[in-house]
Amino acid sequence: MTMQILLNLLIAMVWMLLHDVWNTLTFTIGFILGFFIIYSFRRFFPTPFYGRKLWAILKLIYLFGIDLMMSSIVVIGQVIRPRLNIQPGIFKMETKLKTEWELAMLVNLLTLTPGSVVMEIAPEEGILYVHAMDVKRNKPSVIKTKNKLEDVIIEVMR
């Protein structure tokens, strides 16, 4: 994958050399051209095409953004209620991610989505301990978010 990105950068450089114009626009055009060239030659690379990973990353950002919005509104709604009506608590959930990088990404993203802070991780058992602001109402949505993010993270990292 790194090989393909380097090759793409090289193609962009060569494009700039051929035009003898050294600005960002020419570089971008060269990079897009290189992207399509590598796409059409993807059969001959030993590793899968890197555009697929790029797509997975975009999907992760998109999913995460939507979750962030939705749950932010929920949390702000809980905060501005005249009487606090929350039942905080700690619950545990399982994860199928194993390596450190994947776990770190999942925990960071989960901590950023409102309504849940990851408190403790047991990597060997694959268990996350999550503090939720309102256990009963938030638990299903947190688990749903986790499942969604897990699938996309696997797509990105493997």
Partner 1 sequence: MSAKEIIEAVVLVMVIIGTLMNSLSSLGFIRLPDVYNRSHAATKSITLGILFILLGTFIHFLFVDNYFSVRLLLGIVFVFLTAPVTGHLIVRSAYRFGVKLSDTSIKDELAEDLERAKKKEARTEGT
Q: Which of residues 61-90 bind partner 1 (CB under 8 A)?
A: 68-69, 71-72, 75-76, 79-80, 84, 86-90
The nearer residue to partner 1, 11 or 133, going by C-beta atoms, is: 133
Q: Which two tokens stand for residue 23?
A: 């600005």
Residues 7, 29, 33, 117: which binds partner 1 (CB under 8 A)? Answer: 117
Contact 35, 76 (CB under 8 A): no
Q: Which two tokens stand for residue 60?
A: 């992760």
Contact 153, 60 (CB under 8 A): yes
Rounded to the nearest whole angstrom, what is the least distance from the CB of residue 82 to partner 1 in the complex? 10
Q: Which of residues 2-61 bind partner 1 (CB under 8 A)?
A: none
Question: How far is the C-alpha of 102 from the C-alpha of 153, rounded, in Å?
Answer: 7
> What are φ and ψ of residue 21, in 5° steps?
-120, 125
123 binds partner 1, rule: CB under 8 A = no
Rounded to the nearest whole angstrom, what is the least distance from the CB of residue 42 to partner 1 in the complex? 30
